[in-house]
């Protein structure tokens, strides 16, 4: 009997203690609500109200599974998506503009990693997005190391058709490799619609020499890159580093790439004008002019034809011949039922409103005959 009484007394004591403890915990949470942004008081009967409060105090990205804030990723005065890009960063405005047009949104970890090298494929993604040239067609594999499932494959294919890239040795593009500064500058210059065909001839040796004379490492510039680099210097796309170097063979960081792309295509310094919009497969592409042209097709295996165009590009799907008095060489185009293209070649019979499209085979070229095509001139 005594044992039963003792047990009952013990149970009553435990009940009283637990009630007081719960009251203390409740008071503690009420007095410290959101004080250190780690304690959140949730009333089960008013869950919706509490969720509204939580949304005002913290963001989904900064919380863990138990609704507490991961303070390790909270940085004041940073980009609203990229926690590692503070507002005082030299590339903040450029990164923001690229983000706003969807050029960097593929990075899902909320880290832009501005000091890391940018890859060749990633740079093309940012570049083509900034230019407004979004992939719209199925890719036709060109490089041995770029396949349908390769990251940024559609951007590599589009850039190749537009004459922005040529690839490396062994028919490879190496999309995951860091992009060198000289190669990056070439992509910028060839991608810019304002710099047309005569890039190899428009700057004299004297002018090129003057532009490069102030740089200590001018001898490190490869011959093929000199014209692109001097154009970039002339148009103030690049200015060189404070130590009077260009570092043409160095890799480029994501922040540097963002600034260069922004400077070329997005910043307020660029000419702004109204553009018409073309919708293809749900994708919108800007254009400046729409022309109906008489088209034929050619292939470099046909007798008397070269493997290189007048612009010096290797022949490819996308390389088309035009009358340069009608469409300047170097102009980027979109051609219905053909795809992206670049006005890269000329021909004796190509006069006025005629265009010659590169075909994958001689048979395709012969079978095509003559047809009217709709050509959109891109900005």
Q: What is the pLDDT of residues 203-255, one digit of tens each?
A: 888 999 999 999 999 999 999 899 899 999 998 889 999 999 999 999 999 99
Q: pTM above the 0.85 mark?
A: no
Q: Which tokens in the block code for residue 73?
A: 């990723």
Residue ranges of the chain whose pLDDT lies below 50: 2-74, 194
Q: Which tokens in the block code for residue 200?
A: 């190899």
Q: Which tokens in the block code for residue 85?
A: 């890009």
Output the pLDDT for position 139.
Answer: 80
Cα–Cα distance measured from residue 263 to residue 189, given in angstroms and rounded to the nearest whole number: 12
Output the pLDDT for position 138.
Answer: 83
Count CB atoms within 10 A of the CB of residue 367: 10
Output the pLDDT for position 109.
Answer: 80
Output the pLDDT for position 58.
Answer: 28
- Is 215 within 8 Å of 149 (Cβ atoms)? no
Output the pLDDT for position 97.
Answer: 94
The set of residues, in sequence order, having a beta carbon less than 8 Å from that of 318 and lying 6+ positions away, is 160, 161, 162, 163, 339, 340, 341, 342, 358
Q: Which tokens in the block code for residue 99?
A: 């983000």
Output the pLDDT for position 79.
Answer: 85
| Residue 355, strand partner residues | 295
* pLDDT tens-place string over residues 12-66: 444 444 444 333 333 333 333 223 333 323 333 332 333 232 233 323 333 334 4
Q: Which residues of 190-217 are buried (b: 16+ CB within 10 A; e: fewer)?
A: bbbbebebebeeebeeeebeebbeebeb
């Amino acid at each position: 009997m005594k044992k039963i009484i003792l047990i009952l007394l013990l149970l009553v004591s435990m009940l009283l203690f637990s009630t007081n403890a719960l009251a203390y915990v409740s008071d503690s949470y009420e007095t410290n609500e959101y004080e250190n942004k780690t304690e959140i008081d949730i009333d089960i009967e008013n869950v919706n109200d509490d969720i509204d409060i939580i949304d005002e105090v913290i963001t989904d990205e900064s919380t863990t599974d138990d609704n507490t804030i991961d303070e390790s990723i909270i940085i004041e005065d940073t980009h609203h998506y990229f926690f590692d890009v503070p507002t005082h960063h030299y590339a903040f405005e450029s990164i923001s503009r690229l983000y706003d047009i969807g050029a960097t949104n593929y990075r899902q970890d909320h880290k832009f990693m501005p000091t890391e090298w940018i890859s060749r494929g990633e740079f093309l993604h940012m570049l083509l997005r900034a230019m407004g040239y979004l992939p719209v067609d199925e890719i036709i594999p060109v490089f041995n190391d770029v396949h349908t499932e390769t990251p940024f494959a559609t951007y590599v294919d589009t850039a190749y058709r537009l004459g922005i890239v040529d690839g490396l040795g062994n028919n490879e593009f190496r999309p995951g490799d860091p992009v060198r500064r000289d190669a990056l500058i070439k992509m910028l210059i060839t991608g810019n619609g304002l710099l047309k065909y005569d890039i190899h001839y428009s700057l004299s040796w004297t002018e090129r020499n003057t532009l490069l004379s102030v740089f200590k490492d001018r001898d490190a510039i490869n011959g093929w890159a000199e014209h692109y680099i001097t154009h970039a210097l002339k148009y103030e796309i690049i200015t060189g580093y404070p130590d009077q170097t260009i570092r043409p063979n160095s890799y480029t960081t994501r922040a540097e790439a963002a600034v260069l792309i922004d400077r070329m295509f997005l910043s307020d310094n660029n000419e702004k004008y109204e553009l018409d919009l073309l919708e293809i497969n749900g994708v919108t592409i800007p254009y400046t002019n729409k022309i109906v042209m008489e088209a034929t097709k050619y292939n470099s295996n046909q007798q008397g034809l070269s493997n290189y165009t007048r612009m010096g590009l290797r022949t490819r799907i996308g390389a088309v011949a035009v009358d340069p008095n009608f469409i300047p060489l170097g102009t980027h185009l979109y051609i219905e039922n053909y795809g992206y293209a670049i006005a890269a070649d000329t021909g004796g019979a190509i006069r006025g409103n005629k265009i010659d499209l590169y075909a994958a085979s001689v048979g395709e070229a012969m079978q095509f005959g003559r047809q009217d095509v709709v050509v959109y001139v891109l900005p």
